[in-house]
Amino acid sequence: MMRPLMVRAGGKADRLYVAYPAGFGGATAGSAEPYSASVSTGLQNLRDMASEQLRRCPGSYLAIVGFSQGSHIASMFAQEIGRGGSAVSADRIAAVALFADPTRNPDSSLFPGAPGKSAPDPAPGTSGNAVQALAPLSQPEASGGGIGPQRDIASNFGSLTGRVASWCATGDLACDAPSGAPILRVVTNLVGQSDLSDPLKALQSVSEALAFTAFKTSVTVVNEDVSGTSLASLSLNPQKSLSERVAEASDPRTTVDADAGVQALFKVATIGLNAVTTLAQTLLTPSNIAELVSVGLANPGAAIALFGQKLAAAIPEVIPPATTSRLVQQAFDAIEQNVTDNQELLDLATWTKFSDTIARHVSYQTAPTSSGTTATAATVDWLTAVADDIAAANGGGAR
């Protein structure tokens, strides 16, 4: 795509490629570095390269283009800039084009955060005449969203909204994953932080990721979904489905601070201690002790049996039948919610839609959009127009 742009821009633009591992744990032709680490490296390299370019040439405008994992990186960078969290100023960003973006918001428009918009905003400080002369842009609506970690999903790009286009082919799992399937994000997150270069490394890294995910999920569930200070008052009221909890916990950047871990530990310990206390108060009454001692002196075996009877009779004091019924119903409701949240995975139409997802993923240069041109061709037209507007603002010179 960049070569046609360079030809058409006629010296008004130059290109720089951001080096990064492009890894997926060794499962693809790229580096053996896990996906999450590869994205982090690419994002830092992009920050450094952009800052260096603007340091050397402060009047430069930047247009950022990314595909798939590169799009994930470009999106994260654009989100930082859009919310004012970057050393790069928003007025230095002329355009951002994302293809197959794993951070795409479900059911997002071509210009995220600007529903119905069919033309990009001009570069800051330019007339925008060339950009405004472009044919309207559109693409078929993709109802799903990016398969990247939930915290990376972009509903808009802040001050860059209108200058960011997110191209997504329907059925491309990278950007059009079913929103009703959070368990897919769990799988992606776990694989994305694993070394898949050989079976032993894969087994070790996946096991470690699962262990950390289980721990983080448990702490969150205990602190946020479980209430009560004893087994009798115990209640499960999930604020999110278990799949959503696990999806959040499976992101390697999700941490559990010491206070949260201690809070969960104390809550469980308090429930256990109260249960033991209730049991002891019910079982070890003076009359029961006297009876056990009397029977035990005459027949130790009978004393053990009697103790068992007393213990069985005390159990309802610890967990009343009504509490048991309520917990069973709450557990059933939680399971039902989990299935409901992943209902799209049970739909045959979902599997049909994604049966050729690999072909959809590489179709941006060949498949026509609703506008009659391909996504890459439309982007070349856009970036060429941006270059023309910038050159006109500079009296014909290039930046």
Last residue of a domain, one of 321, 341, 361: 341
Residue 201 has pLDDT above 60, yes or no: yes
Residue with tokens 């955060």, as numbered in its chain: 113
Pair 6, 95 in one domain: yes
How many C-alpha atoms does 182 have within 13 Å on its Cβ side? 18
Q: Using a pLDDT cut of 70, give the percent of the chain over it.
A: 76
Phi/psi region, residue 115 (left: phi>0; alpha: psi -120 to 50; beta: rest), is beta
Average pLDDT, the chain: 81
Number of C-beta neighbours around residue 36 at 10 A: 23
Query: Does residue 302 lie within any of the structural domains?
Result: no
Pair 37, 135 in one domain: yes
CA gap 135, 294 in Å, rounded: 97
Pair 123, 202 in one domain: no
CATH number reported for the structural domain that contains residue 157 in this entry:
3.40.50.1820
Query: Does residue 284 lie within any of the structural domains?
Result: no
For 299, counting Cβ atoms within 10 Å of its Cβ (0-12 exposed, 13-18 middle, 19+ buried), the class is: exposed
Q: Kindly report, residue by residue over 247-260, the tens digit of the pLDDT.
A: 788 777 787 777 88
Q: Look at 28 and 321; give whichever has higher pLDDT.
A: 321
Query: Does residue 292 lie within any of the structural domains?
Result: no
Show the tokens assigned to 156: 């808009």
Query: Does residue 281 lie within any of the structural domains?
Result: no
Pair 208, 105 in one domain: no
Tell me the mean pLDDT in the region 366-382: 86
Q: Do residues 357 and 173 make contact, with C-beta atoms less than 8 angstroms apart? A: yes
CA gap 250, 367 in Å, rounded: 35
Total H helices, total E strands in the chain: 14, 5
Which pLDDT does position 398 carry in this prediction? 47
Query: Does residue 142 lie within any of the structural domains?
Result: yes
Residue with tokens 């009504």, as numbered in its chain: 322
Pair 50, 80 in one domain: yes
Query: Does residue 168 lie within any of the structural domains?
Result: yes
* Relative orientation angle of helices 35-56 and 182-192, to the nearest 10 degrees: 80
For 228, counting Cβ atoms within 10 Å of its Cβ (0-12 exposed, 13-18 middle, 19+ buried), the class is: middle
Q: How many domains does the chain have?
A: 2
Which pLDDT does position 190 carry in this prediction? 75
Residue 166 has pLDDT above 90, yes or no: yes
Expressed as residue numbers, the domain containing 112 is: 2-180+351-393
Pair 318, 379 in one domain: no
Pair 121, 221 in one domain: no
3-state helix, strand, coil in the chain (%, to 5): 55, 5, 40
Pair 215, 241 in one domain: yes
Pair 27, 48 in one domain: yes
Last residue of a domain, one of 322, 341, 360: 341
Pair 88, 51 in one domain: yes
Q: Kindly report, residue by residue over 288-297, the tens digit of the pLDDT.
A: 667 766 766 6
Query: Does residue 86 lie within any of the structural domains?
Result: yes
Which of 50-59, 204-213, 279-288, 373-382 comes out lowest in average pLDDT? 279-288
How much is the pTM? 0.74
Pair 115, 250 in one domain: no
Last residue of a domain, one of 301, 322, 341: 341
Query: Does residue 279 lie within any of the structural domains?
Result: no
- Dihedral angle of Cα 20, 21, 24, 25, to the nearest 10 degrees: -150
In this prediction, residue 307 has a pLDDT band, given cuts at 50, 70 and 90, of: low
Pair 334, 253 in one domain: yes
